[in-house]
Amino acid sequence: MSPGQPSDEDRIEAYYACSHAALDQLYRKYYRQLVAFFRRCGLQQADADDLADEVFLRIARSKWTGRGRYDRSLGQFVRWLWAIARNLLAECWRKQGRRPKQDLIAPENLEVQIRIEDEPLEPLTAEDLPGLGQFAGDVQDCIRRLPDRLQDVFLLDSIGWPLQQIADSLGIPYGTAGNRLFQARQQLRQCLQRRGYLFVPQNNPLPPGAVIVARFEKPSELLLFVPNQSPEA
* CATH C-level class of 8-96: mainly alpha
Among 92, 88, 112, residue whose Cα is nearest residue 100: 92
Residue 173 above 80 pLDDT? yes
pLDDT bucket at 56, cuts 50 / 70 / 90: very high
Average pLDDT of the residues in 173-199: 88
Per-residue three-class SS string for 88-107: HHHHHHHHHCCCCCCCCCCH
Look up the CATH architecture of domain 107-225. Answer: Orthogonal Bundle (1.10)
Helix axes 132-144, 148-158, angle to 10 degrees: 140
pTM, whole model, 2 decimals?
Answer: 0.60
- The pLDDT score that the predictor gives to residue 175 is 93
Average pLDDT of the residues in 203-212: 76
Q: Return the CA Rg of the chain.
A: 20
pLDDT bucket at 118, cuts 50 / 70 / 90: low
Taking the C-alpha atoms of residue 155 and residue 113, their distance in angstroms, rounded to an integer, is: 11
Task: State CA 74 to chain mean position distance.
Answer: 25
Among 136, 142, 144, 130, residue whose Cα is nearest residue 226: 130
H/E stretch holding 189 reads helix 174-194
Strand, helix or coil for residue 219: coil
Q: Under a CB-based contact definition with an 8 Å cutoff, are residues 207 and 223 in contact? A: no
What stretch(es) of the chain map to CATH 1.10.1740.10? 8-96
Taking the C-alpha atoms of residue 230 and residue 150, their distance in angstroms, rounded to an integer, is: 27
pLDDT bucket at 100, cuts 50 / 70 / 90: very low
- Give the Å distances, CA to CA, from 208 to 58, 146, 151, 225: 53, 31, 34, 11
What stretch(es) of the chain map to CATH 1.10.10.10? 107-225
Q: Under a CB-based contact definition with an 8 Å cutoff, are residues 213 and 223 in contact? A: yes
Taking the C-alpha atoms of residue 180 and residue 191, their distance in angstroms, rounded to an integer, is: 16
